[in-house]
Structure 1
Amino acid sequence: MNAPKVVVLDHGSGNLRSAERALVRVGAQVDVTADYGAAMDADGLVVPGVGAFAACMSGLRAVRGHQLIGRRLSGGRPVLGICVGMQVLFDRGVEHGVEAEGCGEWPGTVERLKAPIVPHMGWNVVEAPTGSVLFAGIEDERFYFVHSYAVRHWELSGGGPFRDPLVTWTPYDGDRFVSAAENGPLSATQFHPEKSGDAGAQLLANWLATLR
């Protein structure tokens, strides 16, 4: 069977080469590019992201990434967001009192964590829902997080044309936040699977299996 073709979208933000290496490790054929056509044609699209929400959205818009994500999803074609690449899938982000518009694929606001120590940095558990594809076989593992902002309230009650969303939560120092979501062809993780060792590799392999 041919390896699934995955594009890691180069929009100027994210651990592009780390994501590429992690995906190659689990059997993907990977291209790191901002080319719209190549990203549309790929079996799967990975949208990484680090840093500020607004800056990530600016980079996405510069390469028509927001349109690309929307077009792929309208055709049922898989997309995986990672870290800030997950955050920008929501309606808006609020950082330092400044609100920025996101891609709007999911309702919700990315906001600062309500915890005594921020950023949340290091390994943490997840509370994966029954039936999760991403976390199959790794429900009890720990994953690597580096972030100060997240979605703390899930607002989508139904999956629209897709099945109901599966939402994974992570507790952190008296707060909790959405650490992953699966909604038809759209999946995302707040943590970095490419930095999460064997558990992260298995999660990426689980996602790749949905592309075949």
Structure 2
Amino acid sequence: MNVAIVKYNAGNIYSVVNALKRLGITPELTDDAERLSKADRVLFPGQGEAGSTMAYLRSRGLDRLIRDLKQPVLGICIGQQLMCSHSEESDTDCLGIFDTEVLKFRPEKHEDKVPHMGWNTLTRTSSPLFKGLGTDEFVYFVHSYYVPVNPYTIAVTDYVVPFSAALHKDNFYATQFHPEKSGSVGERILKNFLDLTV
């Protein structure tokens, strides 16, 4: 299977590369339009800041390219947020794949630390992405912005407010958590993504 990872100015790409290698896949890290378009699966992972990242994507035409992909695509962390329509982070217009906004966590209690960092549970999972997993599985998060629960939500996590831990529309999937840092649960989610049929 030919798996490509979108190459852009994001951190934390290589942990995804290593997670895929553990599944027997050696992905290609590329920003080449033809190679991304011809890949069997595309991942759009990373950590970063919305405004500068969107500017980078636009400067290289990667914004249009990602929207036009027809194979299964998985956004991770900032990848999920940038697949939405708008982010409060730097008042940024994003890719618009999911017609929903990205909001900043506003702590309500002293114990509500931002960023939301560490292990938390997935609830209300409803997708082949979570095939073979039980209820209330733990996954790993690091984020200060979140996507509210909306019609594209396929998993929910509660921190300050209930939010979208994962999204799905057509061939596009996204997770706010890091499957590559989520142990055997995350490994299963990545394997399920590789096994998807659009």
Instruction: Say which of 177, 180, 185 aligns to 2:166.
Output: 180
Once the two structures are superposed, what CA deviation does each residue of 1:35-67 show, in whole Å capped at 9, x if it has no partner? 111111000110112121112212222332211
Letter in 2 for 1:188: A
SS of corresponding position for 2:46: coil
Question: What corresponds to 1:122 in structure 2?
Answer: 118
Among all aligned residue pairs of Structure 1 and Structure 2, give the percentage whose two residues are the same amino acid: 36
Is 1:100 the counterpart of 2:92 in the alignment? Answer: yes
Decide whether aligned partners of structure 1 residues 203 and 153 sit closer, same or farther in structure 2, where only a CA change above 3 A counts. closer
Question: What corresponds to 1:39 in structure 2?
Answer: 36
Is 1:134 the counterpart of 2:126 in the alignment? Answer: no
Is 1:85 the counterpart of 2:79 in the alignment? Answer: yes
| Alignment check: 8 A CA contact 2:166 2:175 kept | yes
Letter in 2 for 1:20: V
Structure 1 runs (4+) deviating above 4 angstroms are none
| Alignment check: 8 A CA contact 2:153 2:165 kept | no
Letter in 2 for 1:136: K
- 1:62 and 1:48 map into 2 onto residues whose CA distance is 18
Superposed, which structure 2 residues align to 1:49-64 within 5 Å?
Answer: 49-64=46-61
Is 1:113 the counterpart of 2:105 in the alignment? Answer: yes
Q: Displacement of 1:151 after TM fit? A: 0.9
Letter in 1 for 2:137: E
- 1:166 and 1:84 map into 2 onto residues whose CA distance is 16
TM-score normalised over the length of structure 2: 0.91
| Alignment check: 8 A CA contact 1:126 1:168 kept | yes
- 1:8 and 1:195 map into 2 onto residues whose CA distance is 17
Once the two structures are superposed, what CA deviation does each residue of 1:10-35 show, in whole Å capped at 9, x if it has no partner? 11113221111111212324101111
Instruction: Say which of 16, 20, 26 aligns to 1:19.
Output: 16
TM-score normalised over the length of structure 1: 0.85
| Alignment check: 8 A CA contact 2:17 2:26 kept | no
Is 1:200 the counterpart of 2:194 in the alignment? Answer: no
Greater Cα shift, 10-19 or 188-197 = 10-19
Question: What corresponds to 2:145 in structure 1?
Answer: 149
- 1:49 and 1:55 map into 2 onto residues whose CA distance is 13
SS of corresponding position for 2:141: strand
Letter in 1 for 2:143: H
Q: Displacement of 1:153 after TM fit? A: 4.1
- 2:197 and 2:2 map into 1 onto residues whose CA distance is 9
Letter in 2 for 1:89: M
Question: What corresponds to 2:157 in structure 1?
Answer: 170
| Alignment check: 8 A CA contact 1:179 1:191 kept | yes
Q: How many residues align?
A: 193
- 1:22 and 1:54 map into 2 onto residues whose CA distance is 27
| Alignment check: 8 A CA contact 1:56 1:84 kept | no
| Alignment check: 8 A CA contact 2:73 2:172 kept | yes
The Cα RMSD (Å) is: 1.7
Return 5+ residue gaps in structure 1 as ranges.
157-164
